[in-house]
């Protein structure tokens, strides 16, 4: 099997690391070699963050290079646009339809681009969702990232049960039920 490359991008503090931990768990339970590369430290403070995930028979390079990602999971629209060129031609782009203004936009030094999703749809296969709204429907805005995991799961080759098993092992004990519900909601979208 050829090595698969996945990227998870977003804004520091959005919880992308939890998503990569779940993804890493699912890949490992399927018996693949895997490498995940994360961002910790200062860049996590509201900056643009990216996690690289590569898996297959034997993985060397821990990062995904431009034009090589099979799936790009973006937690925010502008970040989807920033990293879209990392996708392969037939790559899948999953976008949380949320706008978080970077400080450059807040201070007026730059403008937040319009029509991001429409423009990206012309080039890539785009699945977008307002995960925050979906999470609020479930009564807990914090689980929006697990909704995104549910959507991503539909576009990857692992059994649904494996995802649920890993979620049970990864999230805090008292949030297992709400996270499972969020995964199911994402999976059904």
* 133 lies in the site for other proteins, by CB under 8 A: no
Residues 73-92, one symbol each (x = binds other proteins by CB under 8 A, - = not), give: -----xx-xx-xx-------
Question: Measured from the CB of residue 146, what is the shortest distance to other proteins in angstroms?
Answer: 15
Using the contact rule CB under 8 A, the part of the chain among 43-51, 150-158, 168-176, 181-189 near other proteins is 43-51
Total number of residues binding other proteins (CB under 8 A)?
52
Choice from 57, 90, 111, 161 touching other proteins (CB under 8 A): 111
Using the contact rule CB under 8 A, the part of the chain among 38-46, 153-161, 167-175, 177-185 near other proteins is 38-46
DSSP conformation letters of the chain:
-PPEEEEEEEETTS-HHHHHHHHHHHHHHTT-EEEEE---GGGGTTSEEEEEEEEESS----SPPTT-EEEEEESSHHHHHHHGGGEEEEEEEEEE------HHHHTTSS-PPS-HHHHHHHHSEEEEE-HHHHHHHTT-GGGHHHHHHHHHHHTSSS-HHHHHHHHHHHS-GGGHHHHHHHHHHHHH-
Residues 45-74, one symbol each (x = binds other proteins by CB under 8 A, - = not), give: xxxx----------xxxxx-xxx-------
Choice from 1, 2, 42, 139 touching other proteins (CB under 8 A): 42
Rounded CA-CA distance 181/188 in Å is 11
Query: Contact residues for other proteins (CB under 8 A)?
Result: 11-13, 24-25, 28, 33-48, 59-63, 65-67, 78-79, 81-82, 84-85, 100-107, 109-113, 123, 132, 141
């Amino acid at each position: 099997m050829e090595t698969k490359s996945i990227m998870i991008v977003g804004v520091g503090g959005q919880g992308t690391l939890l998503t990569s931990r779940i993804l890493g768990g699912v890949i490992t339970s399927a018996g693949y070699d895997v490498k995940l590369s994360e961002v910790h430290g200062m860049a996590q403070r509201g900056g643009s963050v990216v996690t690289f995930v590569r898996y297959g028979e034997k993985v060397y390079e821990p990062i995904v290079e431009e034009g090589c990602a099979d799936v790009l999971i973006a937690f925010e629209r502008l970040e989807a646009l920033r990293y879209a060129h990392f996708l392969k031609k037939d790559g899948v782009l999953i976008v949380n339809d949320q706008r978080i203004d970077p400080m450059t936009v807040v201070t007026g030094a730059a403008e937040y681009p319009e029509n991001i999703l429409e423009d990206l749809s012309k080039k890539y296969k785009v699945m977008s969702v307002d995960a925050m709204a979906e999470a609020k429907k479930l009564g807990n805005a914090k689980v929006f990232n697990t909704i995104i995991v549910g959507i991503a799961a539909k576009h990857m080759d692992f059994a649904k049960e494996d995802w649920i098993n890993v979620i049970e092992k990864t999230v805090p004990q008292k949030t297992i039920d709400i996270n499972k519900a969020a995964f199911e909601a994402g999976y059904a979208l």
